[in-house]
Chain A
C-alpha cells in the first residue's frame, strides 16, 4: 500500500478550549489507528 501522509495535522493545545487528544502521544496513537504513516 502507498504511504499515507497527513499534510495538515494539529499538535498542541487548542487556543480557546480544552481538547484532550492533541498531545504528541495521543496524535501518534490516532495516526497509528487509521494507518497514517507520516504527519
Chain B
C-alpha cells in the first residue's frame, strides 16, 4: 500500500479551466507511482471567488462537496480532508461533522488563522471527539507575514498540539520551501505531530534529517502539488530504509492516525 497523505483536487468553480484534466492526470500519475489512496483536500474555490487562504463559508462548502463527489466517484482511491476556515467557528464545526459523517477521514487547516490561536481549539476538540488527524499548512520557519494568509510555522503548530495531546497533527509539506531544519527542531519532542514529506523541494540531507528528528514512526509520505519529487523522495527512501521502516512511511503510520477502516485494505 502507498498512501499519499497530502493530495489536492480541483473542481469546476476554480481558476483552472483544465481542472478535470488535472484531476485525471493526478490519478493517472498515482497509478504509475503505485499510490493506493490519495488523501486530498480542496481549498474552497482555490481563489476564484474568495481568497485561497481565507475562503468564504459558501466556497468552503462547495469545495468540500466537490471532494465528496470525487470520493464517491473513486471510492477505492480517494479519501477527503474536510477543509474549514476556523474564523467561522460554527460553520467550521458544522462542516467537519457533515463531511466526516459523509466519509471524509481528516481535517485540513490552511492559513486562515495562526495555528496557536484559540480559535483553533474548537477544531481540536472536535478532532479528538471524532478521532481524526488535522493536516496543518505550514511555512517552514516563517520570518515575516505574507499577504493574503496567516501562515503558521512549526513552533505555532506545536503549541496547538501540546494543548490537544490526544489529537494527531500533521505538519504539512516539509519540502515545501523554507528552513525545514527549524521545523524539525521544533517537532522533535512533540509526539503527536507527524511530518509529511510532501512539497516540491528535497534539499541534500533533508530526508536523513527527518529520520533523525522524528524517526520513521512519525513520517508520512505525500506529494502535494508536485508528484514527481514525491516519487523521487520515495525512491531515495527505498535506498535508505529497511522494508519495515519504509512500510511505516508508505502507509502504516497513516493507518495508525486515520480512523480505522479509512483505507480499503486497512
> Footprint of B on A, CB under 8 Å?
10, 14, 17-22, 26-27, 30, 33-34
Known: A21-B206, A22-B205. A33 touches B181 (CB 8 A): no
Q: Closest Cβ of chain B: how far from A12's Cβ, in Å?
A: 10
A28–B130 alpha-carbon span in the complex (Å): 47
Choose one: B181, B205, B236; the contact of A34 (CB below 8 Å): B236
List the B residue with the shortest CB-CB distance to A14: B203
Q: What are some 8 contacts across the A-B interface (CB < 8 A)? A: A10-B204, A17-B179, A20-B181, A21-B204, A26-B204, A30-B204, A34-B235, A34-B239
Asked whether any CB of chain A lies closer than 8 Å to the CB of B12, the reply is no
Interface string of B163-180 (1 = CB under 8 A from A): 000000000000000010
Interface string of B191-207 (1 = CB under 8 A from A): 00000000000011110
Asked whether any CB of chain A lies closer than 8 Å to the CB of B189, the reply is no
Please tell me if the beta carbons of A19 and B203 are within 8 angstroms of each other in the complex: yes
Please tell me if the beta carbons of A19 and B236 are within 8 angstroms of each other in the complex: no
A14 / chain B contacts, CB cutoff of 8 Å: 203
Asked whether any CB of chain A lies closer than 8 Å to the CB of B240, the reply is yes
Q: B interface, by DSSP: helix, strand, loop or mixed?
A: helix
A17–B208 alpha-carbon span in the complex (Å): 17
A18–B203 alpha-carbon span in the complex (Å): 11
Please tell me if the beta carbons of B209 and A20 are within 8 angstroms of each other in the complex: yes
List the A residue with the shortest CB-CB distance to B141: A17
Choose one: A21, A33, A34; the contact of B203 (CB below 8 Å): A21
A34–B208 alpha-carbon span in the complex (Å): 14
Q: Closest Cβ of chain B: how far from A36's Cβ, in Å?
A: 11
B209 / chain A contacts, CB cutoff of 8 Å: 20-21
List the B residue with the shortest CB-CB distance to A18: B181
List the B residue with the shortest CB-CB distance to A11: B204
A30–B207 alpha-carbon span in the complex (Å): 11
A2–B134 alpha-carbon span in the complex (Å): 45
B208 / chain A contacts, CB cutoff of 8 Å: 20-21
